Amino acid sequence: MNKLPSRIIPLALVLASCGGKAIRTYDLGTPASQQAEAYIEAERPKAARDAKRIVIPYFQVEFVQQSSASANVMGQKAGAGLGSSSSRVKTTVTLSGVAPTQFQAITNDFYDAVVADLKGAGVDVVSLDQMRASPEFKTLSGHGCKDSPDTIEHFDNISKFYAPHGMQVYYLPKDERFSGAATGKKSGPSIIGAFSQMGAGISGVYGGGAYKFVDEEVALAKALGAKVLRVRVVIDFADVSAEGHSGAQGGTTSSHSAVRISFPAKDTFYQFNGSDGEGGFSLKIPLVSGDGFAEKKDGGYNSGGGKNWEAAANGTAYEASVRKHLEAFRGLVMARLKSSL
């Protein structure tokens, strides 16, 4: 397990306490092509232009295992006439009921489906065997890569990163899931520490090798006459929020709404890298399922005065929800990508 210095690892929670605003759920009944503009952000899509041959050294699915969210709690100061004070309480939700074999099977099948999509669009995809045999890939994978699954822990947030078919996992220098920038906005202390420790954190864990990956991907692409494609999906919990209040009689916290699948915006993407630079397609709003997959079980109060909950999943329901929303995400991206090929 990688347990890095504080404020350097990803937060794994989508908060639904958005000032009372309703969460937009994905409409599986509407063709992805009709929803692609609403869901997919294109950033330098010209990086994918003329990508007739693709190599995929970077492919990871992040399965959130435990998420936490913080909320302010208003209380009365001790003594008469001293007004109110606030503190923060944390709600933690831990996933159970899903087997590691399910996570790996989902990842393997998602990779196969992405490759099939690309081939169906007329793109030649370098096989894993051919990629692994190239000297350039051996250089890239010779430092800093982690066996799948790689476990990342940040405070009360835990994720497992899976790669398909025996591939390994690596992280890029500006990876916000790794640096903590993706988490500091949701819960915990200021993210300033994340940025100040980012270089030291990556260097300490990966020996500085993470800084070479981008250039080494370009070398791999050039050697194989291809463009590099990176694929990542973050599979998180939606509608898990922390809220609280306290008065003279003490405080209470609660977690509400069903536990559903959510793919966070920005951190879920298809990204290209080659001699003409980086660019690609990412979610610009969360992709949230309309169906729940878990029963919430009360785990009592934690040391910070908040509640611990267990998301006791039906493993079959979890897997089914993840698979159909991965299919939807693929459809959304391919609808945008085909116009760039």
pLDDT in tens, 24-52: 899 999 999 999 999 999 998 888 887 89
- Exposure of 146 in the CB half-sphere (CA atoms within 13 A): 21
- How much is the pLDDT for 333? 96
Better-scored residue on pLDDT, 253 or 277: 277
Tokens of 87: 């503190």
Better-scored residue on pLDDT, 88 or 322: 322
Model confidence pLDDT, tens digit, residues 62-95: 999 988 777 666 554 445 555 555 567 778 889 9
pTM recorded for the entire structure: 0.81
Neighbours of 298 (CB within 10 A): 11
Alpha carbon distance 284, 336 (integer Å): 13
The answer to whether residue 163 scores a pLDDT higher than 80 is yes
Mean of per-residue pLDDT scores for the chain: 78
- How much is the pLDDT for 6? 28
The answer to whether residue 242 scores a pLDDT higher than 90 is no
Segment 199-211 shows an average pLDDT of 50
The answer to whether residue 207 scores a pLDDT higher than 70 is no
Which among 36, 54, 175, 74 has a CA at the least distance from the CA of 116? 54
Tokens of 340: 């760039």
Q: Residue type for 204, please? A: G
Neighbours of 124 (CB within 10 A): 14
Segment 114-131 shows an average pLDDT of 96
Look at 36-45, 223-232, 301-310 and tell me which has the smallest mean pLDDT: 301-310
Segment 184-208 shows an average pLDDT of 38
- How much is the pLDDT for 269? 95
Better-scored residue on pLDDT, 155 or 121: 121
- How much is the pLDDT for 307? 84
Cα separations in angstroms, 113 against 89, 107, 149, 327, 330: 42, 10, 20, 8, 8
The phi, psi pair for 312, rounded to 5°, reads -80, 95
The phi, psi pair for 39, rounded to 5°, reads -105, -25
CB 276 within 8 Å of CB 46 = yes
Better-scored residue on pLDDT, 331 or 75: 331
Neighbours of 180 (CB within 10 A): 28
Model confidence pLDDT, tens digit, residues 175-195: 777 655 554 444 443 222 222
- How much is the pLDDT for 241? 46
- How much is the pLDDT for 74? 56
- How much is the pLDDT for 184? 45
Tokens of 149: 């699954």
CB 321 within 8 Å of CB 293 = yes
Q: Residue type for 145, please? A: C
Give the domain ranges of the chain. 2-337
- How much is the pLDDT for 323? 97
Alpha carbon distance 68, 151 (integer Å): 16
Model confidence pLDDT, tens digit, residues 229-240: 999 999 998 654
Which among 308, 311, 5 has a CA at the least distance from the CA of 155? 5
Checking 247-254 for CB contacts under 8 A at 24+ apart, the result is 247/75, 247/76, 248/76, 251/73, 251/75, 251/89, 251/305, 253/71, 253/73, 253/89, 253/91, 253/301, 253/305, 253/306, 253/307, 254/307
- How much is the pLDDT for 298? 87
- How much is the pLDDT for 50? 78
The listed range with the strongest mean pLDDT (13-17, 66-70, 183-187, 295-299) is 295-299
Segment 220-229 shows an average pLDDT of 95
Tokens of 292: 């729940």
Task: Give the torsion sign (CA, 291, 294, 297, 301).
Answer: negative
CB 269 within 8 Å of CB 280 = yes
